[in-house]
A and B are shown apart, each in its own frame.
Chain A
Amino acid sequence: MSRPRPKYLNLFQIRLPVPGLVSILHRMSGAVLFLLLPSLLVLFELSLESAQTFARFKAIFSHWAIKLMVIGVVWAYLHHLCAGIRHLALDLDYGTELATARASSWAVLALSVVLTLVVIAMIW
């Protein structure tokens, strides 16, 4: 036991198992949604204030960079939602075996991307 302590972990060398990836993405998407909340409220307010601001809202929304940002938010929301539903199932003791937990993690990743693609098809 002569290995140097404390041992620091290099985050870039860790290969997370899929449930770990879903877990950290759940945390990151939640943080992103929290940070973007004021921007979303600004857009929402703009859309409701008057017919003029609604037109401005539509103009802002039609810009490709804003659309990309909105798609990012939509993905974060959908991933957070799907991972959250998986979490509730785990709380109720459904899908706690390793194989099932891995499969449901893949399902969360896939489903949130597929739903985001549906939204892209609708708003682009």
Chain B
Amino acid sequence: MVKREIVGAHYGLRDWLAQRVTAVIMAVYTVLILSAVAGLPQMDYRHWKVLWQTPLVRYASILFMVSLLLHAWIGVRNILMDYVKDPALRLTLYVLVIGALLGYAAWSVQILWGN
């Protein structure tokens, strides 16, 4: 008799961990960026722009965006897994979501570095 173990695709634990690590990164970023915005001497274009041009803010924001996109992918994929039963439709939606998220990533880099 062949002994077969029942195992999954092995991405469960990795995704579970990624979801939590990215969540913590985003939570910390949220507190820091809100204090930075609250600490602006004046809410005008000059101060606003200078804040977002600071290298630390730029890199922290990109780290936040990467975390958000990974977090959103795992979350949206889980939602689609639960409710969309037709495999072809589900796969199509996966591709659309991944495409959108990669687009948002490029767009964020352009917003933060382009101006």
Contacts and interface: CB of A to CB of B under 8 A. Distances in A.
A34 B49 CA distance: 26
Question: Which of under 10, 10 to 19, 20 to 34, or 35 or more describes the interface residues of A?
Answer: 20 to 34
Nearest to A44: B111
B75 A34 contact: yes
Contacts of B100: 38
| Interface SS, A side | helix
A47 B37 CA distance: 14
Contact of A84 (B23, B45, B108): B23
Interface residues of B, number: 19
A98 interface: no
Contacts, number: 46
B23 to A, nearest CB: 5
Nearest to A52: B45
B108 A41 contact: yes
A51 B45 CA distance: 6
Interface of A: 27, 30-31, 33-34, 37-38, 41, 44-45, 47-51, 54-55, 81, 84-85, 88, 91
The 5 closest A-B pairs by CB, nearest first: A54-B45, A51-B45, A45-B111, A30-B75, A34-B72
